[in-house]
């Protein structure tokens, strides 16, 4: 199985969180990839790029997204079968984003959101988690979640263990 990462609007494909989580995935025997969206600011074009990359995948995969990358991963999961979704402070219900309702095909979705996020309100993740009946981890942290990376890593490790058994 493979884990495919989607970075946020202002970060890059191998930023701090992705590097840390990719190492955990590798240690668990997963292949890893991270899509580069740095030339695209439009979230819908990022979704198109991710879907094009997923067409090449032959094995099962999980999608991991942070901020706008969380939106991108969730929207893509409405089109393709995804083993699991791990979304960190996903940019849901944001003004100007085309998709405001989501119906993922993934059987396992987990969201991690910081209570002190001043970019995307935690209430957005609460709203989606309630609608999707998925796991939501509200933790002490800001939008980047870098200050609580160990918690994010522990939750990710458990997420991988869960989807590997499914």
Q: What is the pLDDT of residues 55-100, one digit of tens each?
A: 999 999 999 999 999 999 999 999 999 999 999 999 999 999 999 9
Contact (CB, 8 A) for 92 and 70? yes
CATH number, position 145: 3.40.50.1820
Say what the pLDDT of residue 6 is: 98
Say what the pLDDT of residue 166 is: 81
Instruction: For the chain, give the number of residues.
Output: 166
Q: How many domains does the chain have?
A: 1
Distance CA 77, CA 71 (A): 10
Domain of residue 81, residue span: 2-165
Distance CA 115, CA 113 (A): 7
Does residue 133 surpass a pLDDT of 90? yes
- Which residues lie across from 2 on neighbouring strands? 31, 61
Contact (CB, 8 A) for 71 and 100? no
Nearest to 66 by CA among 145, 137, 141: 145
Distance CA 109, CA 118 (A): 23
Does residue 38 surpass a pLDDT of 90? yes
Full-model pTM: 0.97
């Amino acid at each position: 199985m493979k884990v495919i990462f989607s970075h946020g609007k202002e970060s890059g494909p191998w930023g701090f969180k992705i590097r840390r989580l990719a190492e955990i995935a590798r240690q668990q025997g997963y292949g890893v990839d991270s899509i580069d969206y740095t030339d695209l600011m439009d979230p819908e074009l990022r979704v198109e790029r991710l879907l094009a990359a997923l067409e090449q995948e032959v094995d099962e995969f999980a999608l991991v997204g942070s901020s706008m990358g969380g939106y991108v991963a969730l929207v893509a999961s409405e089109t393709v079968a995804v083993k699991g979704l791990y979304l960190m402070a996903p940019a849901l219900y944001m003004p100007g984003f085309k998709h405001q309702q989501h119906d993922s095909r993934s059987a396992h979705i987990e969201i991690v959101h910081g209570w002190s996020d001043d970019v995307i309100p935690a209430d957005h993740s609460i709203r989606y988690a309630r609608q999707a009946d998925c796991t939501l981890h509200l933790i002490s942290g800001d939008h980047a979640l870098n200050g609580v990376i160990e918690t994010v890593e522990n939750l990710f490790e458990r997420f991988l263990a869960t989807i590997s058994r499914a």
